[in-house]
Structure 1
């Protein structure tokens, strides 16, 4: 019995010494220290992002699946036909409401191989307004009024900086790269988005049956970067 108490006492003393020189780590305190401060929530920025997303969805909801499918025998060369693209641009410049005025594209412009274009333009009279236009059968539609709540200035770019014929350059680049990727489908649409008053070409990637490549174009539609993801 005495030996038992001596042994137990020795263990307790040894444990006390270890605790003194090797104190237990306060895991709760460490976990609290490792948790980063939350990113400040900016409600105004979130609302702007949501408004922009809703606007794009509203404009494109009329764009049915048939518009993005490859259509045999019907204007299937529009994306690579510089004459047709230039004709569409000149017709846009000649719209009565924009005669003699600089045209500003808002947010994005979409080109489809079937011969259609969708674009949002700053109103020619009120710079706070945005209208949607559709080019089809070589004719521009009447303006469709849109409700835009975000700061549109950073999403504007002058038509002078976007030549429609550059779409043909971009389409040629896409088609060339698609041929190099097994299982990649022909391109049926190209669109240009505007951020911080600069343009970005899309699609930004090409999917094959076995692999995926990212692709980036210069402002004029020529190849800037192409690499496997």
Structure 2
């Protein structure tokens, strides 16, 4: 087996050839991922049974079988990570609901860089051992909720993304640039001061749930890392 064969395989289910080609190119160039393209929903189950993708990018509108039905069928016997891709804004609430079991969604038109970032994040979450989650912290991505020591945290979307990034790898030091990329999927340009402000606000909310402990630590000249006190 070559080293390339060990890279994650992404199944791209997309019936627009130009979009499919763009996704394949960016998945390879930015993530080093292998990929395979299917342009019909009714071919996904058989291919996945035979080849086992590590993650599926699943368009909502497909010939043969739509993405919602494909997702439901996959979830009947598989926990493969699924990112839904849709141009139908009215479906977003449904995609985020528990009824489908999708791990994330992306709206068209999208930035290919954002897609790769989302793929990387979802794969990281699925491969993280359950024991690696810092004690006392619970993050429910589907419900967009976080709790510390049983206390629900009232977080903004940016604060939620920041918390997820830090808690995925407790003890790891993240630079401000890395946190910026995690918080803003559209890769907007923001200042270091904006990152510090979001960290300050998140610290305050965590401190209210777990008084007396420094949950997010500053590493002088580098960035931030997470350390949660025991519940």
- Shorter-chain-normalised TM-score: which range? under 0.3
TM-score, structure 2 normalization: 0.24
TM-score, structure 1 normalization: 0.24
